[in-house]
Amino acid sequence: MITQKMKYALKALLELADEAGREAPQALTIEEIATRSGTPKRFLEHILLDLRKAGVVSSIRGRSGGYALLKPPTEISIPDLLRRIDGPIAPLPCLSRTAYQPCDDCADEAACRIRKVFAEVFWSYLVLIESLTLADMLRAGGTAPGQAAG
């Protein structure tokens, strides 16, 4: 399950991607992103800072400033964003590829039935999600630039 923070991040990125696809794209202010995406402004400030630190968006200062995508949507990895915003995506710490930790209560990882069952489900999930990009989400919405994406 993704957090509300991740949903807000995706909504903001979809709005920035819609704007980038316009004929004369402009940087969007936090207020514009919040209004278009239906995201509370107070959360958006922190989320956009995280996305800027991740190299996904740029912030432009000044009168016509705001935020814009730094990368094309095809290069913005959804699983990378999930990990950046929500942390490890594995259901158990012993299954995480990026934040592996043995479970405190497990004496034998190789024989753990809980790990085996969740590993099968998780690997299937990873196969599906690892190739997902922001461009896939844009195509799934079918919205024209400027329209709110779900």
CATH class of 4-74+133-141: mainly alpha
Which H or E run contains 69?
Answer: strand 66-69
Degrees, nearest 5: CA angle 58-29-83 = 50
Spell 88-99 as b/e; 16+ CB within 10 A means b: bbbbbebbbeee
| Other beta carbons less than 10 A from residue 37's beta carbon | 23
Q: Give SS3 for 140.
A: helix
Residue 35: closest CA among 12, 51, 52, 56: 12
14: nearest Cα among 64, 51, 42: 51
**Which structure tokens are listed for 34?**
């919040």
Instruction: Give the pLDDT of residue 15.
Output: 95
Q: How far apart are CA 5 and CA 19, in angstroms?
A: 21
Residue 77 pairs in a beta bridge with 133
pTM of the model: 0.82
49-69 residue pLDDT tens: 999 999 999 998 887 789 999
Q: What is the pLDDT of residue 142?
A: 59
The predicted-structure confidence for 58-114, as pLDDT tens digits, reads as follows 998 887 789 999 999 999 999 999 999 999 999 999 999 888 999 999 889 999 999
Per-position b or e across 115-141, b if 16+ CB within 10 A of its CB: beebbeebeeeeeeeeebbbeebbeee
Domain ranges in the chain are 4-74+133-141, 89-129
